[in-house]
């Protein structure tokens, strides 16, 4: 916890975090680079910021000036950040001490933590399991107790899914609430800066630090940043909680449903009203393909800057064209190249009507559905995943089953719509955590935090860390 707590011995707290992260590294493989902290510590000592002295971690797609920023791809393996991302500046200004950059599925593309340039990342609750993705390293370092706060980014559910798998809080606020300037993108219209904490109070405080208009990001909002922590109120009386029924219906695991129903019952007892919400099933099943087409199309264009000409890895050729081709061929994994091909195909003039434009139309319809679903309630909830974290060896997920299409992909609605959405732990199944997802109306982060706090009080799942035997 760092909300309402002044860090007295900054040096000690930071060095403990560094030492723990270093000790855990051989087991978890969550960190890409450790940063020099001496200067940051002395600056933090003079800081009155909301995170003064707090050791934190950034996902390695967040630009840090003068510090290696790889995005977890070969082509940026030697890239030194040319500038600080807006949130890097904000966190430094708040007195935070960045101890390192964490692993991610390359360029944020992936949800398993197994497509990182630095190798698999392991779940601290069971080293044989995944911790989700793409913000896997940040999630793992918060869950392992190394740091109490870490930055992630969320394009499909890349903060909220790993948060579920490692029993922590993962927040993705409204699109435009946090500046994206200096985040290596995945898909611009879906990308959100998100973050991890171990309590709702910390999550509320963190948004005060991160949010706000940035003239360098034209999509950032001019709305005033609220005092989320001071206004935080966990009283559930009169709160209208909607349950996304399609997701419940798609979940086959009884223990997940049991945990979920138990929490709902407690919410009702605490004075909330519960409403079953049904969305159009056919359209919901389109979430994944729509996401794939839009995300890959935007990603293909977004990453055309990685050509080996001006920075990053350069693979020589006899002409500039050859140099670019060689750099990109060697610089990206097979999986990333595959996504670029899909994106490029969807963007091709003869395919755009059938693929990208159609996907954008379906996205609009889904957002309309979602808006209607939320119109008479405060938040919409559902389990953040159908089951606990899969084994690292598990590649058998049937990707076209309803279970997979809806139970595992509904959180992408938060990215389509830009609505604020977060995951908090709801309990454990056989010692492995699983989370619940809470989504609110645009810019109603306060409502979302309030209900999350109410639920956190009911589950008692707060400040959870895994025992990692180092």
Partner 1 sequence: MSFEVIIGIEIHCELKTKTKMFSGAPVSFGNLPNTCVNEIDLGHPGTLPSLNKRAVELAITASELMNCEVDRLIRFDRKNYYYSDLPKGFQITQQFHPIGRGGYVDIDVDGVSKRIGINRLHMEEDTAKQFHHGDVTWIDFNRAGTPLVEIVSEPDIRSGKEAAAFVEKMKSLLEFGDISDVKMEEGSLRCDVNISLRPYGFEGYGTKVEIKNLNSVNNVQRAVEAEIVRQTEIYLKGESVVQSTRRYDETTRKTVLMRKKEGTVDYKYFPEPNIPPVLISDEFYSRVISQLPKTAQQRKDAYINQLGLSDYDASILTSGKDLSDYFDAIVGFGAPSKGTANWLISEVLSVASLRSDKKFADWIQPQHMADLLIMVSEGKISGKQAKEVFLDMINGESPKDIVAKKGMAQVSDEGQLLSWVTEILNNNAQSIEDYKNGKDRALGFLVGQVMKLSKGKANPAMTSELLVQELSKR
Positions annotated as catalytic residues are 59, 134, 158
Judged by CB under 8 A, the residue of 91, 193, 306, 458 near partner 1 is 306
User: Between helices 200-210 and 445-459, what is the axis angle to 10°?
Assistant: 160
> Is the separation of the CB atoms in 376 and 275 below 8 Å?
yes
Query: Which of residues 61 and 423 has its CB atom nearest to partner 1 in the complex?
Result: 61
x/- letters, 392..421, toward partner 1 (CB under 8 A): ------------------------------
Region near partner 1 per CB under 8 A, out of 42-50, 115-123, 163-171, 176-184 = 176-184
Q: Does 231 bind partner 1 (CB under 8 A)?
A: no
Strands 97-102 and 55-59: parallel
401-408 LR contacts (CB < 8 Å, sep 24+): 402/250, 402/285, 403/250, 403/251, 403/252, 404/288, 405/250, 405/284, 405/285, 405/287, 405/288, 406/246, 406/247, 406/250, 406/281, 406/284, 406/285, 406/287, 407/247, 407/250, 407/251, 407/383
Chain positions 185 to 204 lying near partner 1, rule: CB under 8 A, are 185, 187-189
- Cβ–Cβ < 8 Å for 212, 117: no
What span, in angstroms and rounded, lies between the C-alpha atoms of 188 and 217? 11
* 3-state class (DSSP) for residue 106: helix
Q: CB-wise, 37 or 62, nearer to partner 1?
A: 62
Out of 305, 329, 372, 399, point to the residue binding partner 1 (CB under 8 A): 305
Q: What is the dihedral of CA 70, 74, 77, 82, to 10 degrees?
A: -60
Q: Using the rule CB under 8 A, which residue among 36, 38, 39, 215 binds partner 1?
A: 215
Q: Is 385 helix (H, G, I), strand (E, B) or coil?
A: coil
Q: Which stretch binds partner 1 (CB under 8 A): 157-165, 295-303, 415-423, 449-457?
A: 295-303
Please answer whether residues 376 and 240 qualify as being in contact, where contact means their C-beta atoms are separated by less than 8 angstroms.
yes
Region binding partner 1 by CB under 8 A among candidate stretches 96-104, 244-252, 347-355, 453-461: 347-355
Q: For residue 382, how far is the Cα from the chain centroid?
A: 17
Interface residue with partner 1 among 77, 127, 223, 311 (CB under 8 A) is: 311
Q: Which of 183, 210, 279, 422 binds partner 1 (CB under 8 A)?
A: 183
**Segment contacting partner 1 (CB under 8 A): 131-139, 304-312, 414-422, 428-436?**
304-312
Task: Give yes or no for residue 230 binding partner 1 (CB under 8 A).
Answer: no
Given the rule CB under 8 A, which residues bind partner 1? 61-63, 69, 71, 76, 79, 82-83, 85, 180-185, 187-189, 215-219, 297-298, 300-301, 303-307, 309-311, 320-321, 324, 344, 347-350, 352, 356
């Amino acid at each position: 916890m760092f909300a309402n707590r002044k860090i007295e011995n900054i040096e000690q707290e930071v060095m403990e975090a560094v030492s723990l992260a270093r000790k855990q590294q051989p087991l978890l493989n969550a960190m890409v680079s450790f940063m020099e902290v001496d200067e940051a510590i002395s600056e933090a000592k003079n800081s009155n910021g909301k995170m003064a002295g707090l050791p934190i971690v950034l996902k390695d797609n967040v630009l840090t000036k003068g510090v290696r920023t790889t995005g977890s791809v070969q082509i940026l393996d030697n890239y030194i950040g040319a500038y600080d991302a807006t949130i890097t500046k904000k966190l430094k200004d708040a007195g935070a001490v960045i101890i390192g950059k964490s692993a991610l599925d390359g360029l944020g593309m992936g949800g398993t933590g197994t497509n990182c340039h630095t190798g698999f990342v392991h779940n601290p609750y069971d080293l044989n399991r995944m911790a989700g993705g793409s913000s896997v390293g940040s999630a793992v370092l918060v869950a392992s107790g190394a740091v109490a706060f870490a930055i992630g980014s969320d394009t499909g559910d890349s903060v909220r899914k790993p948060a579920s798998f490692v029993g922590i809080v993962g927040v993705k606020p409204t699109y435009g609430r946090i500046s994206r300037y200096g985040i290596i993108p995945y898909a611009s219209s879906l990308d959100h800066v998100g973050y991890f904490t171990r309590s709702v109070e910390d999550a509320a405080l963190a948004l005060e630090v991160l949010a706000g208009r940035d003239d360098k990001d034209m999509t950032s909002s001019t709305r005033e940043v609220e005092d989320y922590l001071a206004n935080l109120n966990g009283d559930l009386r009169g709160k209208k909680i909607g349950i996304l029924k399609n997701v419940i219906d798609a979940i086959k695991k009884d223990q997940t449903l049991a945990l979920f129903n138990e929490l709902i019952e407690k919410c009702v007892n605490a004075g909330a009203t519960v409403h079953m919400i049904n969305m159009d099933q056919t359209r919901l099943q389109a979430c994944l393909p729509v996401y794939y087409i839009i995300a890959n199309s935007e990603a293909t264009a977004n990453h055309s800057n990685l050509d080996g000409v001006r920075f990053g890895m350069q693979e020589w050729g006899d002409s500039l064209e050859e140099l670019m081709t060689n750099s990109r061929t060697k610089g990206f994994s097979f999986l990333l190249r595959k996504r670029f091909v899909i994106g490029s195909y969807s963007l091709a003039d003869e395919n755009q009507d059938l693929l990208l434009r159609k996907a954008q139309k379906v996205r609009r319809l889904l957002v309309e559905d979602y808006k209607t679903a939320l119109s008479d309630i405060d938040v919409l909830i559902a389990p953040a995943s159908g089951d606990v974290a899969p084994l690292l060896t598990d590649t058998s997920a049937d990707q076209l089953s309803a279970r997979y299409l809806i139970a595992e992909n509904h959180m992408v609605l938060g990215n389509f719509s830009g609505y604020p959405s977060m995951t908090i732990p709801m309990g454990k199944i056989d010692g492995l955590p699983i989370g619940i997802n809470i989504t609110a109306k645009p810019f109603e982060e306060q409502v979302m935090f309030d209900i999350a706090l109410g639920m956190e009080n009911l589950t008692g799942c707060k400040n959870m860390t895994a025992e990692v035997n180092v």
